[in-house]
Amino acid sequence: MLYTEHYVKHCQKKNINIDKNFIMWVNVIETIVKYKLGMDLLDLPDEDYMLNYENNIDARDMAKMILSQYDIILDKV
């Protein structure tokens, strides 16, 4: 399951508005991580993506932070 699917289900369950910009942001991260690690974000240790999104962390920088935990270098995306 993709992180965005999980997010949408959570929002629907709690009757919370879905932030489409957050979905686009996290999709960039998930695409990069999936390409480099072969894993979905939900398969990795928990990360507070919404907090990082709200703090205006660039999606590519967020992906770099995740990949750095696995000693994977992100050259160009």
How do the pLDDT tens digits run along the chain, 77 residues long? 899 999 999 999 999 999 999 999 999 999 999 999 999 999 999 899 999 999 999 999 999 999 988 876 666 55
Give dist(CA 44, CA 41) in Å, integer. 5
Assigned token pair, 56? 């205006």
Residue 75, pLDDT score: 61
Hey, what amino acid is at 32? Answer: I
Long-range contacts of 22-28 (CB under 8 A, 24+ apart): 22/49, 22/50, 22/53, 25/53, 25/59, 26/53, 26/59, 27/2, 28/59, 28/60, 28/63
